[in-house]
Structure 1
Amino acid sequence: MSHVTYRIVPHDGGWAYKLGDSFSETFTSHDLARAAAVAASREQRVPDQTAMIEYADAAGEWITERADGHDRPRTDVTG
Structure 2
Amino acid sequence: MAKVTYEIVPHDEGWAYRLDGAYSERFDSHDQALEAARIVMKEIAQADEPVRIVYQDADGKWRAEMSNGNDHPEVEILDHYTSSSQG
Deviation of 1:67 after TM superposition, in Å, equals 8.2
Aligned length: 68
TM-score where L is the length of structure 2: 0.67
In 2, Cα distance between the equivalents of 1:22 and 1:47? 25
- Which position in structure 2 is the counterpart of 1:14? 14
In 2, Cα distance between the equivalents of 1:73 and 1:67? 16
In 2, Cα distance between the equivalents of 1:75 and 1:4? 5
Pick closer, same or farther for the CA change 1:28–1:67 going to 2, 3 Å: farther
Query: Cα RMSD (Å) of the superposition?
Result: 2.3
In 2, Cα distance between the equivalents of 1:32 and 1:67? 36
Deviation of 1:70 after TM superposition, in Å, equals 2.5
Q: State the identity as a percent.
A: 42
TM-score where L is the length of structure 1: 0.73
Structure number with larger C-alpha Rg: 2
- Which position in structure 2 is the counterpart of 1:34? 34
What SS is found at the alignment partner of 1:32? helix
